[in-house]
Amino acid sequence: VKFSFFHLMPYPYLPDDFDEKYDSSALTYPNANFDPKLGSALYARYLDELEYADQLGFDGIAVNEHHQSAYGLMPSPNLMAAALTRRTSNARIMVLGNAIGIRGNPLRVAEEIAMLDLMSDGRVDSGFVRGIGWEYFGHSINPVKSGAGSTETMKFCAERKYTYMSVYAPTSIVRRWFDGYRQAAADLGYVPDPERIAFSVPVYVADTDEQAHREARPVLEWLYRKGLKQTAQMVTPPGYMSPGSLRGVLASGMRSLGGFSYEDLLANGQAVVGSTAAVADRLAELYEKLGGFGQLIGLFAIGPSTHQQVMRSAELFASNVMPALRPLGVAAERTTA
């Protein structure tokens, strides 16, 4: 397994009456609530954290794209990747990814990735996301033309041998996605390299289990209940899903992400929290439950977690969890495949 340190660059300074007063931390959330001085300091801090992850020995440092949202302050992940090319030396710089659906002319994205490739001396991995529903409102891009459901995406990735990555869903659903991707590859007559399957999950490590849970609970609740708070209309604008896919999601009884309790999130594998031993055990268990994966994309900077917390969590993970889990993956998969 390879390990990446993933950053969303959240804006954690939401007002105390956020829950009652606002439908979402995105799109409809007022710009007036944003303090540019704090924003400036956050960018500096967050880049420091990504650079530190490179020094700690993470295989990858990952950035992504979000718009008009306190959930993530990176409308352009390529700008952040460019900053990282100059002050990191070993880690892959992973753009996970450009929201190609809302970027207008894709040639501009290709040009920027090509620049990053040269600036980083070949360390850039270029990923793509579809863009969240609210971003189709914000950028006046017609979601009807945004294309695909998950089945089509699996097939598209399998045909090109692209890496397929999950986000946020409970383990049972992630397993279904990964199996779908493996099946799409099998239909094409090959077994995907384990590294082509990436599991992303929020990870919080502290010196003891007790400390980890005490500190992780509020930041994970912030992530799922505030950072990701949005209305049904923002999640699925018209045409974002096919009627058949929407029926499937509704019939499966899938809840909105804000409906999960902290305990649910841990039990569902939507977050991994604890001491180094507990986190290593839990990730090994999730590895089995998911039928294996070759990349772990860890979200270490979660919501309002402090700089010290993020640095400590990443240090503990790099020194004690990565060595334990690294042997999982490639060899095991090749024998069972």
How many angstroms separate the first and last alpha carbons of the chain?
A: 16
Residue 104 within binding range of other proteins, rule CB under 8 A: no
Count of Cβ atoms closer than 10 Å to residue 104 Cβ? 11
For residues 8 and 299, the answer to whether their CB atoms sit within 8 Å is yes
Least distance from C-beta 57 to other proteins, angstroms? Answer: 45
Residue 44 within binding range of other proteins, rule CB under 8 A: no
Q: Which residue has the tokens 């502290």?
A: 206
Site string for other proteins, 131-170 (x = CB under 8 A): -----xx--xxxxxx-------------------------
Q: Which residue has the tokens 């400036």?
A: 40
Least distance from C-beta 247 to other proteins, angstroms? Answer: 5
Least distance from C-beta 76 to other proteins, angstroms? Answer: 21
| Comparison of 69 and 163: residue with beta carbon closer to other proteins | 69
| Comparison of 29 and 178: residue with beta carbon closer to other proteins | 29
Tell me, by CB under 8 A, how many residues bind other proteins.
23
At CB < 8 A and 24+ separation, what contacts does 152-161 make? 154/180, 154/181, 154/183, 154/184, 155/184, 157/181, 157/184, 157/196, 158/184, 158/185, 158/187, 158/188, 158/192, 159/184, 159/188, 161/192, 161/193, 161/196
How would you class 307 by CB atoms within 10 Å of its CB: exposed for 0-12, middle for 13-18, buried for 19 or more? Answer: middle
| Comparison of 28 and 211: residue with beta carbon closer to other proteins | 28
| Choices 3-11, 159-167, 226-234, 304-312 (CB under 8 A): range interacting with other proteins | 226-234
Q: Which residue has the tokens 């799409």?
A: 184
Cβ within 8 Å of residue 141, ≥6 positions away: 101, 102, 104, 131, 135
Residue 234 within binding range of other proteins, rule CB under 8 A: yes
| Comparison of 238 and 323: residue with beta carbon closer to other proteins | 238
Position among 247, 255, 289, 334 found at the interface with other proteins (CB under 8 A): 247
Position among 15, 238, 259, 327 found at the interface with other proteins (CB under 8 A): 238
Least distance from C-beta 143 to other proteins, angstroms? Answer: 7
| Comparison of 144 and 191: residue with beta carbon closer to other proteins | 144
Q: Kindly report whether the peptide bond that precedes residue 97 is cis, defined as omega within 30 degrees of 0.
A: yes
For residues 199 and 296, the answer to whether their CB atoms sit within 8 Å is yes
Count of Cβ atoms closer than 10 Å to residue 246 Cβ? 13
Among 224, 238, 297, CA closest to 59:
297
Length of the chain: 337
| Choices 62-70, 76-84, 120-128, 231-239 (CB under 8 A): range interacting with other proteins | 231-239
| Comparison of 250 and 332: residue with beta carbon closer to other proteins | 250
Continuous segment of H or E residues that includes residue 274: strand 272-274
CA 332 to CA 1: how far, in whole Å?
Answer: 11
Residue 237 within binding range of other proteins, rule CB under 8 A: yes
Site string for other proteins, 20-39 (x = CB under 8 A): --------x-----------
Position among 76, 151, 211, 231 found at the interface with other proteins (CB under 8 A): 231
Position among 150, 151, 236, 256 found at the interface with other proteins (CB under 8 A): 236
Position among 75, 149, 180, 239 found at the interface with other proteins (CB under 8 A): 239
Residue 246 within binding range of other proteins, rule CB under 8 A: yes
Which residues contact other proteins (rule: CB under 8 A)?
28, 136-137, 140-145, 231-234, 236-239, 241, 243, 246-247, 250-251
